[in-house]
Each structure stands twice: as structure tokens, then as C-alpha cells.
Amino acid sequence: MFLFYSDNVDGQTISIAGDEHQHCAKVLRKKIGDQIKITDGQGQIFTAEITAIQKQTTICHIVDKISSKPIVPKLSIAISPTKNLSRIEWFVEKAVEIGISAIYFVHTQRTEKKSVNLERIHKICISAMKQSLQVHLPKIQSYKSVNELIENVGSDYEQKFIAYCDGPTDLLKDILKSKINTILLIGPEGDFTENEIKEATASSFTPVSLGDSRLRTETAGLVGLMMMKYS
């Protein structure tokens, strides 16, 4: 099955634009009358018939719709962008393949990379979602500090963890309760400052270890996600 992506659903009409339109009309040479599968990244798969192919847009009429359940529990990672952005982009691709509810980029005090191209991240999410035949796009947000993250999403999760080196002894997978909305906060290269750790623990983030070996930021994010998903 090949899945297209469009979040532009209006009644019975779906418009496919940008890369998705190019791929549908130019690469796969779909024609008016052809039926294609489209997901909105919100858990719905539409069977739709192409009614018009314009220069920038493919217009489809919805023939059928399948709605999949929302993913519960919510499993999310808050992570510092890495100096080498390709590493964090790699993390995003893998996290979406495995299945993640939200990715929050947190600009901690020791984060060297000051900005993340969220549009580029969104494209990586779409391609990873399609590639792995999933129909849920993760929520992507960027926050200026650990405090801003806590204030904005802290209350969305019943279970909160913060992972850092040289401190926590409890392994995430051992103290993790399953079937609860959970967020894991992963620090930058150079780790969190003491102050950030205090802020997080004061907001009921539990310090955890991800094991003995010293993991890169993006590897820690993925190991944490897998522990939450498979423990």
C-alpha cells in the first residue's frame, strides 16, 4: 500500500500539495479517476478519487474513510537539539518509525544549536510516517528552556522522567509504569545544569538512568523511547 499525506481535508474534498502533489502527479503519474490512499497524519486513512490535477495541487474526492484509534498511552520525548543537526534529524526519523506521540525540542542552557528547522523536521516526520505505514504524526514543539517546557506540557503527562549522567541509579525500564502518559527529558551534549535538574525534579520529573554506557543525546532519546515502548 502506498500512502499519500495531506492535512488539507475540507468536507469530502482533499487537496494534495507540495512534494506529495509532485510525487502523485509527476513521479507516479496518477490520472483523474485513479483512486489513492491518503492519511491526514491524525489517524485517518482516506480512499479518494482524483478529480483534478492542477499545477500545484491534486484534488481528490473522498470515497471511503477508515479511522484508527489514537495511540495510548502518550509516549513523548523532550530532547535538546544536537550540535550536528543530522543526528537529531536521524532521531526524529527513527522515533516516528517506532511510534512517538510528541517530540519537544528544548533549548537547554548548554544547548549549542540555537534553532531547529521545524519545517524540515515536519517533512522528515511525514516521510517516516508514510514509510512505516503509520497514520499518526507526532506533535512537534520547540521550547526556549526546561522551564518553558515544564510550564507548557508538564501537566499533560502523569509520568515524567529526566535522564542525565553521573547521578541517577534507577534504570528507566525498572521504575517505569506502563499504560500511563509518559514524557522523558533528555539533556544536551554536556548534560543539564544542576539548576535545570532542580527545576525538573521540583516539577515531579523523576531522575532516571538509561544504563551504564554513555550514550549520545540522540541515542539516549531512542533508547529511552524504546524502554518506554517495550518494557
In terms of phi and psi (left: phi > 0; alpha: psi -120 to 50; beta: otherwise), the region of 7 is alpha
Among 192, 223, 216, which Cα is nearest to 88's? Answer: 216
SS3 content of the chain, % helix, strand, coil (to 5): 35, 30, 40
Tell me: does residue 231 bind a second copy (CB under 8 A). Answer: yes
42 touching a second copy, by CB under 8 A: no
Residue 202 CB neighbour total at 10 angstroms: 9
Nearer Cβ to a second copy (149/228):
228
Listing DSSP states for 162-181 in one string gives EE-SSS--SBHHHHPPSSS-
Site string for a second copy, 111-140 (x = CB under 8 A): --------------------xxxx------
Rounded Cα–Cα distance for residues 67 and 208 (Å): 36
One residue of 18, 32, 52, 97 binding a second copy per CB under 8 A: 97
99 contacts a second copy (rule: CB under 8 A): yes
By the rule CB under 8 A, 216 interacts with a second copy: yes
Q: Which stretch binds a second copy (CB under 8 A): 50-58, 96-104, 119-127, 193-201?
A: 96-104
Q: Where along the sequence are the contacts to a second copy (CB under 8 A)?
A: 90, 94, 97-99, 131-134, 173, 211, 213-216, 219, 222-223, 226-227, 230-231
